[in-house]
Amino acid sequence: MGEQDFSAFRGAGCQSNSPWRNITSARVVKLGQLIVFEVSANAFVLHMVRNMVGSLMEVGFGSSEARLDCRADCRKRPL
pLDDT single digits (tens) 20-66: 999 999 999 999 999 999 999 999 999 999 999 998 888 888 876 66
Q: CATH fold of 2-62, please?
A: Alpha-Beta Plaits (3.30.70)
pLDDT at 61: 83
pTM: 0.73
Burial of 48 (C-beta count, 10 Å sphere; 0-12/13-18/19+): buried
16 Cβ contact list (under 8 Å, min separation 6): 10, 43, 45, 46
Q: Determine the 3-state secondary structure of 7 from DSSP.
A: helix
Q: Where are the domains of the chain?
A: 2-62
